[in-house]
Structure 1
Amino acid sequence: MRNRLVGGRYRLGSLLGRGGMGAVWLAGDELLGRPVAVKQVEHPARAARVRALEEARAAASVTHPGTVRILDLVRDGDEAWIVMEALGGRTLADVLANDGPLPVEAVRRIALHLLDALAAVHRAGIVHRDVKPGNVQLCPDGRVVLIDFGIAYTVGAAVTPAEGFEGSPAYVSPEQLHGAPPEPASDLFTLGATLYAAVEGRSPFDRGDLFATMLAVTEATPAPFHRAGPLRPVIEGLLAADPARRWSVEQAREALITPGVSAVNVPMSKPRSRRMINA
């Protein structure tokens, strides 16, 4: 596969990673002479190719430094390939696996970046649905980038969410497990789980067993806090079981930038409807 020319333009280099729907390769754009990342959709079914188009459209509809930029979508034979900017650095999951939990201040900065990115995603009418450490890229230039829109939901999309839930059991919201329609509040719950993992070094809900993990998510009962310190109220606000009482982007941002703000003195926003937030 290495050195293969895709779409008459993109020369494959090293394999960057592999997921449920395909593999991501570092490649060279031989037309413009720049590095890119290309995602190969390996499933041959037509539905998978349609899903790849929806993924590319979802990510491309968001213009924000905190989301991965989509550069092209090409067909090579029966295969669909999504061409993205090449990002340096490591995922948050890699950092946690190799270096351990991060300092509170570093997690606070990551949280602010991700809140801004999710606000832009939600304004575009999209729910990411897979916020987790493996989908957060920490770049050498300081960018914090939300990647992999593979199971993102867009209002009016040709592909509707599958029955049940998609994603990682330890990073899914209670309402997703109950089969509720995707909504921005679900991304905020999984952001809370991601921030917990960043500062505590482990998922708040992973119990080592699928059933026990899903039960912990359903009950929204995170593992004990040990290292979060001033981040704890923010994470707890994001991990509220009831989406209507879960902290919004604005509430979490205010608590992160205002010293001494806690869960009891950040005013609750009005209960959110189950509709998509487009503004």
Structure 2
Amino acid sequence: MSEKHILGGRYLLKDRIGAGGMASVYRAQDQVLDRTVAVKIMLPQYASDATFAARFKQEARAAAGLSSPYIVGVYDWGKDGDTYFIVMEYLHGTDLKSGIRSHGSLDPQKVAQIGAQICGALSVAHRHEIIHRDIKPQNIMVLPDGNIKVMDFGIARAKNSHLTQDNNVLGTAHYVSPEQTRGQELNATSDIYSLGVVMYECATGQVPFDGDDAISVALKQVNELPVPPSQINPRVDPTLERIILRCMEKDSAMRFQSAEELKSALNSYLAGRVVDVPAPTRVIPQGNETTRVVPPADATMVRRMPATPAGTRPAGAHPTSLDLEGAEEEDRKRSRGKTAAIVIGVIALITVAAFAFMTFFNRGGSDVPNLIGMTEDSAMAQIERSGFTASVEEKYSTDEDKGKVIEQSPDAGAKAPKGSRITIRISKGKEPAKVRKVPELVGMSASEAEAALKALNLKPRMTEEVNDGVKAGEVFWQSKEAGSEVDEGTEIECRVAKESESVNVPGVLGMSFSEASNTLSDAGFQVENGGSDYSSSYAAGQVMSQSVTGTAKKGTAVSLVVSKGPEPAKDVDVDSLDLIGMSQDHAQRVLAGVGLRYTIGRSEASATVPRGSVVRYSPTGSQHPGSTITLYISSGSEEEH
């Protein structure tokens, strides 16, 4: 798709800003409403495939029906020639995966806030019987104001759709639920499992299960228990840990059963209320038996034991002396033949599982070669030998030498049709550091200081410290002196005043006024009506801003401003368009461009206006968008007749 292409006669494509497994995303200009949008266009190799085309159209219909401040908005969709496209909200920000890579583990409060906002998006989708199926940090956009939006409901499928029978795995192995790896029917609890993995990664800086390939990771999702987050990051408190691990229960019935239930638990945690979450299960179900997991000190006692009814013995309890005596007698009676049979059975089970997962994770086509680390010439030669075509882009890299491949799309090992395009990104080496002057941050609020540093591409690190002599939430110390020069990307620590009795102020953006008022009141804050204003980001009736965030003393007044929805379109001054003398086609395009309709009146003779051009129009003056303007076209002078 070349630049300057006008899609659907309306969307002027500017530049490509991303690519996925089945579509490319472009920044574009909506020429009717004069706004920047993102346009997702199906890749050429899929546009002619009826199955993929149906899935792409379903994405548009499903996503267009979802309205939430935490979901990327879908404005329009259609078909241009043989190409399908979707028009979406254009976002400024970075994806959560990049944020985790840059900053490592996040503050537990921030983890809970992100989780609660994702729950807000999922609850809307689940009410429409849509399962996202691909919740992962790469699909979570973090906006400059700290809020998030969930992207790419492109593989979500309504439960009542015939496409639910398609068992291809489209998610990422690090985040899929155990039932998703088995190809079972999914419900809302599958998204909750994936969200638990996302919160685990936010809290620890690493995924709970990793491996050399998708199959090994998927097997761990089914067969292994995650290391408790607090063992990786001691800052993770027990309550948040129990919430995360409950989301990641292998048995879906043991998880939170809805996004609303999980959101309620996270909001209670943020408000400092007691959250009643049971200790995580440390036993993995396997058929009619269970494998008991015990601490390393008791390793000699690990054994397979018959499953017992709930309540017979607490999960994780040690066997009694009678259990051990019976087990020793049982061991003596086991024959070597039975042991061999068990080993053969296990090997067969692993073989079948590996085959199933290979089928599950791989699409048809040829294997994409691994090009990471190669020189450009070597990579191009390998792509040609493998039967693909190449596209080369350049990118700065701090990890790889100049001239080496640092990224490729599709990924190595993926299946792709012969002759399809592989995009490689070549390292331009380390980007030269730019020098920035550190601003005066003392006296700013934490959010203002963070925004000021990010605007200069400096890394803010906010740490709270009790300081009753400074207004709560205000910066009173910075690690680099104001006016000093540092390299771009330098971390600047800011110490933010915290009063000893301060508590977290719940974030209520996107809620109704009554829901936000109840949430803040329950947390001990007073609520003031701050009036209303127009907003293109929040639907009418939703809270669009709150005066106090971060931490504050209980009893502090929080002013809430409620959205009136988008600002109504302004009238158009038709006379200022200078339609007289324009050709009919030109005048029609001008009217459409400002949101006006048109109709053609009778032709009129004119000695001054050429044939085919506008003689006059009606009505004149200011008109509402959508109004119809009648154009009267010149038939030429009377002598020409």
TM-score by length of 2: 0.40
Q: Distance in 2 between matches of 1:170 and 1:161?
A: 23
Match of 2:95 in 1: 91
- Per the alignment, in what secondary structure is the counterpart of residue 190 of structure 1? helix
CA distance in 2 between counterparts of 1:160 and 1:74 reads: 23
Contact 1:114 1:145 (C-alpha < 8 Å) held by counterparts: yes
What SS does structure 2 have at the residue aligned with 1:160?
Answer: helix
SS at match of 2:250: coil
- Separation in 2, partners of 1:244, 1:35: 44
Query: C-alpha displacement at 1:50, in angstroms?
Result: 1.2
Of 97-106 and 25-34, the range deviating more from structure 2: 97-106
**Given residue 7 of structure 2, which amino acid in structure 1 is its aligned partner?**
V
How far apart, CA to CA, are the structure 1 residues paired with 2:179 and 2:241?
Answer: 22
- Flag the 1:30–1:217 CA change in 2: closer, same or farther, 3 A: same
**Which has the larger share of strand?**
2
CA deviations over 1:212-256 (Å, ceiling 9, x no partner):
211111125224522233421111010011111111334423332
Deviation digits for residues 93-124 of structure 1, max 9, x if unmatched? 12122332222111111111011111111001
Preserved CA contact (<8 Å) 1:174 1:220? no
In structure 2, what is the Cα distance between the partners aligned to 1:164 and 1:75? 25
Is the partner of 1:208 in helix, strand or coil? coil
Question: What does residue 250 of structure 2 align with?
Answer: 241
Amino acid at match of 2:254: R
Distance 2:224 2:91 in 1: 33
Q: Residue 202 in 1 paired to residue 206 in 2?
A: yes
Assess if the C-alpha contact under 8 Å between 2:95 and 2:139 holds in 1. yes
Aligned to 1:14: 15
**Equivalent position of 1:274 in the other structure:** none
Distance, in Å, in 2 between the alignment partners of 1:88 and 1:176 is: 32
Give, in angstroms, the shift of residue 169 of structure 1.
0.8
Match runs of 1:64-213 below 5 Å = 64-213=68-217
Where structure 2 has 5 or more consecutive residues not aligned to the other structure, the ranges are 281-641
Cα pair distance change 1:220/1:238, threshold 3 Å: farther
For 2:152 and 2:210, locate their aligned partners in 1 and report how far apart those are by CA, in whole Å. Answer: 22
- Structure 1: distance between partners of 2:244 and 2:188: 16
Q: Is the contact between residue 216 and residue 222 of structure 1 (CA under 8 Å) also seen in structure 2?
A: no
Q: In structure 2, what is the Cα distance between the partners aligned to 1:97 and 1:9? A: 38
Report the Cα offset of residue 25 of structure 1. 1.3
Give the superposition deviation at 1:161: 4.4
Distance 1:134 1:54, change over 3 A: same
CA distance in 2, matches of 1:8, 1:250: 42
The amino acid across from 1:253 in the alignment is K
When structure 1 is superposed on structure 2, of 213-222 and 166-175 the one drifting more is 213-222
> Cα–Cα, structure 1 residues 116 and 169, in superposed 2: closer, same or farther, change >3 Å?
same
Q: Does 1:216 align with 2:220?
A: yes
Larger Cα-atom Rg: 2
Partner of 1:252: 262
CA shift digits 1:186-220 (9 cap, x unpaired): 00000001111112112212223323211111125
Question: Which piece of structure 1 moves more, 195-204 or 221-230?
Answer: 221-230
Q: What secondary structure, in the 3-state scheme, does the structure 1 residue paired with 2:21 have?
A: coil
Structure 2 partner of 1:261: 275
Asked whether the 8 Å contact 1:130–1:151 carries over to 2, the reply is: yes
Residue 28 of structure 2: aligned partner:
27
Matched position secondary structure for 2:38: strand
Q: Is the 8 A contact 1:5 1:11 kept in 2?
A: yes
Length-normalised TM-score, structure 1: 0.89
Give 4+ residue runs of structure 1 displaced > 4 Å after superposition. Answer: none
Q: Provide the alpha-carbon RMSD of the alignment.
A: 1.9
Code of the residue aligned with 2:118 in structure 1: it is L
Verify the 8 A CA contact 2:242 2:279 in the aligned structure 1.
no
Do the aligned partners of 2:135 and 2:191 also contact (CA within 8 Å) in 1?
yes
**Secondary structure in structure 2 of the residue aligned to 1:112:** helix
Distance 1:198 1:14, change over 3 A: farther
Query: 1:41-60 maps to which residues of 2 (within 5 A)?
Result: 41-42=42-43, 43-44=46-47, 45-60=49-64
Provide structure 1 residue ranges, at least 5 long, that are not aligned to the other structure. 267-279
Instruction: Considering Cα pairs closer than 8 Å and 6+ residues apart, tell me whether 1 or 2 has the greater RCO.
Output: 1
- Comparing 168-177 with 255-264, greater Cα deviation is found at 255-264
Q: Offset at 1:86?
A: 0.7
Maintained 8 Å contact 2:68/2:121: yes
Match of 2:316 in 1: none
Please give the alpha-carbon distance, in whole angstroms, between the structure 2 residues aligned to 1:133 and 1:99: 14
Return the alpha-carbon distance in structure 1 between the equivalents of residues 204 and 90 of structure 2: 29
State whether residues 12 and 31 of structure 2, in contact with CA within 8 Å, keep that contact through their aligned partners in structure 1.
Answer: yes
**Alignment partner of 1:28: what SS?**
strand
Structure 2 CA distance, aligned partners of 1:10 and 1:144?
26
2-structure distance, mates of 1:213, 1:3: 43
Q: State whether residues 153 and 161 of structure 1, in contact with CA within 8 Å, keep that contact through their aligned partners in structure 2.
A: no
Letter in 1 for 2:251: D
SS of 2:36's partner is strand
Are residues 161 and 83 of structure 1, via their aligned partners in 2, closer, same or farther at CA, if it must alter by over 3 Å?
farther
Bigger mean CA offset, 221-230 vs 88-97: 221-230
Q: Percent identity?
A: 35
Contact 2:173 2:218 in 1 (8 A): yes
